[in-house]
Amino acid sequence: MTTSKQKRPSLTSIRKVMKEAVFNPKTPGPMKVVADMDDAGYFEKRAIESIFNASALRVAGSGESKLYHAQITKAIQLLALARITA
């Protein structure tokens, strides 16, 4: 059931989310360090941790915060790494 406040998924909205999650695993930074782990199990566990953190923010009423979006984006990135390395 949707309310007027909820957004319905569309191809455009999914593309936007995926575009925000794109990163280069060779560019120096935190995601390069993580990508160098090359361990699907590690990526999965970190993604679950990020999802759990985002869920806690949403339940606390911070579902539209930058931190919530950052946690969800991080989970998407980690799941992509898990899929590639599995």
Quote the domain boundaries for residue 80: 40-86
Residue 3 lies in a domain: no
Distance, CA of 58 to CA of 52 (rounded, Å): 10
DSSP 8-state symbol, 4: T
Residue 51 lies in a domain: yes
Residue 45 lies in a domain: yes
Distance, CA of 50 to CA of 6 (rounded, Å): 22
pTM score, whole prediction? 0.85
- Tokens describing residue 24: 């280069």
Distance, CA of 30 to CA of 16 (rounded, Å): 22
Residue 13 lies in a domain: no
Banded model confidence at residue 1, pLDDT cuts 50, 70, 90: very low
How many domains does the structure of the chain reveal? 1
Residue 14 lies in a domain: no
Residue 58 lies in a domain: yes
The per-residue pLDDT for 7 is: 80
pLDDT, tens digit (0-9, with 9 covering 90-100), for 6-22 = 789 999 999 999 999 99
Residue 81 lies in a domain: yes
Residue 7 lies in a domain: no
pLDDT, tens digit (0-9, with 9 covering 90-100), for 19-78 = 999 999 999 999 999 999 999 999 999 999 999 999 999 899 876 789 999 999 999 999
Nearest CA-CA partner of 85 in 46, 51, 53, 37? 37
